[in-house]
Structure 1
Amino acid sequence: MNPLAEAGHALQMAAAMGWEILWPLILGFTLSGVIQAVVRREQVTRLLEGDSPRHLAWATGLGAASSSCSYAAVALARSLFRKGASLSAAMAFEIASTNLVIELGIILALLMGWQFTLAEFVGGPIMIVLVALAFRLWMRGRIVDAARAQAERGLTGSMEGHAAMDMSVKREGTLWQRLFSGDGFTSVAHYYVMDWASVLRDIVLGLLIAGAFAAWIPTNWLQAFFLTDDPTAAKVWGPLIGPLVAVVSFVCSIGNVPLAAVLWNGGISFGGVVSFLFADLIIVPIILIYRKYYGTRAALRITGIFYLAMVGAGYVIELVFAPLGLIPDERSAKVVEASFTWNYTTWLNIAFLLLTAVLLVRFVRTGGVAMLRMMGGSPEAHAGHPGHPGHEGHEGHPGHRGHGGHED
């Protein structure tokens, strides 16, 4: 076996999957930027003050409209919690903003099939309900008070600035007037680039891991590990092991879809794929962030509750989708070899790369580079900067959007 040839094969697989999902990613982040540009974050917080079904429904819907990578979603949930949102609503927002978003649904449909997109968007609310019920039992009283006290202690993490940004358009007028104004275009461009900046590392890491899995691990090994010879055992084992595979993969949000495709082709159960996709919120780095944000006891309970909810959602999806005939018979997720042909994927990638160029130029011309540097800097430096969006004393400033200093 030639190590260089094997490494090259893995990189080719990763590049092929990256090319296949490029235009859906650009489309998803563009739509996400549009939605975020017309929704103000302070309006969001006022709707998340309790843990009633109405509050959780608002948290789910608004989270789905506020697409984030896992790290930014965790930081944003903490920001909402500090501003008065209930912990249950903040967690529901966090789950929805990573697992019920446009770009994830598009890529799932493209690589794995519409059944997986449907499972994601049905399973997400199921997980949120399970988390909310578990929080009523095990996350209340003194442990929530301690978590809120810990959450109030300064800034921890470079994603805090990204999570606290509000670049939405404040100008009066209809939605379309606000969106197609100069400020609207700028807001979309800034959200688009910032979202890419926060998630690009994880997408690349996910593609590399998926490429390595596809190139190096024999299918019969995966089939043995996922107990495919015993369909009943496989359905029990899949949702239990799926989140644990995600935990050690260190891949967040959209970046875990290519690996999910490899695991599905390798034999993991349908419910196991669903639980794996949800588990971007309990990878090891994020567990450590929970500890910093909410304290050790709360972090352990959040992690445990999330895991149980992911497993439970996987089982529910398996039990509901199987009788309805919604589980694909063939394991034919797209894990393709690197190639270049003038097909619809190539033309769509070219068109959406041109759109990216337009948004990137707008971002650069309206002061976005300086903000991007601040987002990646140290939180200690940001905490003392009165103009930075993550600064505690600046959160209520209605005019600051971080894109060139415009005010309405």
Structure 2
Amino acid sequence: MDIKNIRNDFPLLKDLAYMDNAATSLSPETVIHAMNEFERHYRSNVGRGVHRLTTVSTQRYWDAHRKVAEFIGGENGTTVLTRNTTEAVNMVACGIKWQSGDRVVSTLLEHHSNFLPWMKLGERGVDFTLIEPHPDGSIDSAAFEDAIDDNTRLVALTHASNVLGNVLPVKEIASICKEHGAKLLVDAAQSVPHMPVDVEEIGCDYFCFSGHKMLGPTGTGILWMKEEDIEPLLLGGGAIDSVSRDKYTLAEGYQKFEAGTPNISGMIGLGYAVDYLEKLGTDKIERHEKKLTGRLIQGLEEIENVHLYGPHELDHRIGVVSFNVEGIHPHEVSHILDEASGVITRSGEHCCQPLMEYMGLQNGTVRASVYLYNTEEEIDLLLDTVEEITRRL
């Protein structure tokens, strides 16, 4: 990839070494332009009316759904626009008709958004079972063999950890789920932006991810469903085919799950983000990030008083690297990286408090997460700054 040319599409990078991509990525100019074009030239609601503006708006909104579906290999399922991964997970949690005695199996690696909705089901008599990871964050498929039984209604797990960076064997887990008649939900917020994915190959039933982590706008997310087997979270305009005084009929396809006026410009922008990623090639993006991640891990390993968390090997991991400097609060390290060198990182618990407690990390970690526009020079800048911080100890 021509990284220098790519960086020209992200003006914010002129002043910063941005490595908080696991939280929110930057958007290229093409995405921003597409959203502005909607507002300036054909702003109108979708699926309502027949005038020229709504015709254009509806077509481009539909095209964006198609682009996203094709990007994840999900043409045979239903692709629904949500606000984020959190809403997508909650739609499934609220849309299944649970019965007392049902079980949900998950892991301690989960982001709160794929943890709290299942925990809350305990109020309805649903058992919530958690699988603990190995010290490097990995979980063998055998652990799921032991945890999943015939009472398990759903398995909900992250595709890649937003703290430790390890990738879980979701395809193998999907096979185990099928043996027991359980559904599989994959939180793919950290995988879709960084590696090729194919929901058909994985074999999952629900696939959730966020637009703002894959060059798209904030306030956009996706729930992909193999089958439309959950109840819509909301009812209202746009979600129905017909309504009378005493009954209603839901619309077909994704529309039934998108009641009310959606984030039209955001969905169109997400479609353009997919165009951008496909043009570069997710396989090339993955290789570029692995190169940067290897350089970052090796460099941190060579600095005294730095503690690394997660797998050190590059196989089955993404470019999320968590570390601490002994004796210094993660927030202070992140602040120094920003103020001294313009290196933007995340610090704290990363919305994974149960995992932090399990690992004995009361204050969390510093997290550097790379993306397609990061460079080796930026990695070296982070390493030089961390090494300078350790010299003060």
TM-score by length of 1: 0.26
Structure ranking higher in strand proportion: 2
Structure ranking higher in helix proportion: 1
